[in-house]
A and B are shown apart, each in its own frame.
Chain A
């Protein structure tokens, strides 16, 4: 626990620094807000700011891209951004800087990082049959961002002192403490990896399933896209390609059981599109099992 806490503290500090290292979005941290949070404990227990959230997410996205690069297919990368951005417009956070990417990996998985970075592996994409299935998976990941599930996992692991430490580190930064050197950045990175490897709260995964189905349905897709992918994943259990996915999520069969009653009573009267033609043009070997 102590080790994780230290990593998370480093993660928070690194996030400050990351705003320079990964400053593509052109945002700035609101240091004054963090400093005042440090002066007031009840304030400090509030959520961290959106720019911080985005900054943490950019760092985690960069780590993920260090594990597997983007698939070298510009048409697919543009396509997933179009589908994902459209889905994000049907949510309560349409103005986050949403970014979507297909990772070049045989592993079957999808990831989100705070503030709007969403990833699907090419291995998972090839198992899908339609745009509605892709929309279902993206919507599940979008829900993790909407509900700040990763930040909740960090808070849970880091304890109540986490945010006050963020604040005090921010003060140091403002005072010209500067970059603490390579050791820090190593700690920062391992803190991010810790969250990626440990996964999220199981209840948050079920919540993301429920919300994901709603977001896809709102967008006009077949509500059963996500359940169809879960059915495919269930059929892959026992293979090595799904080992990380299975260790970080409830079993697909449990997720399907949980959705079963909900789908029948709530979603059967919605007509949605599966949009399989253009999906198959872009992912010609889709549906491979």
Chain B
């Protein structure tokens, strides 16, 4: 399949072709790809695309998959409304 038509990160609309171009420009780690093209930064926080990105990095640079670092994990605040956080904090103070 044409890499232009293979969507790797659907949250941030990044195709396999985009990844190849970034690899050629010298961006070769998850952290770099994420910053330049928002790969893995969408609402699902790389739950959908993370493994695929890792796999493509490994293939392209001929590295064992275990050596390709996954993006740094952040604390799990995913999907909570600011208002709910505030209300919970207010409750704690009472």
Answer yes or no: do A and B interact: no
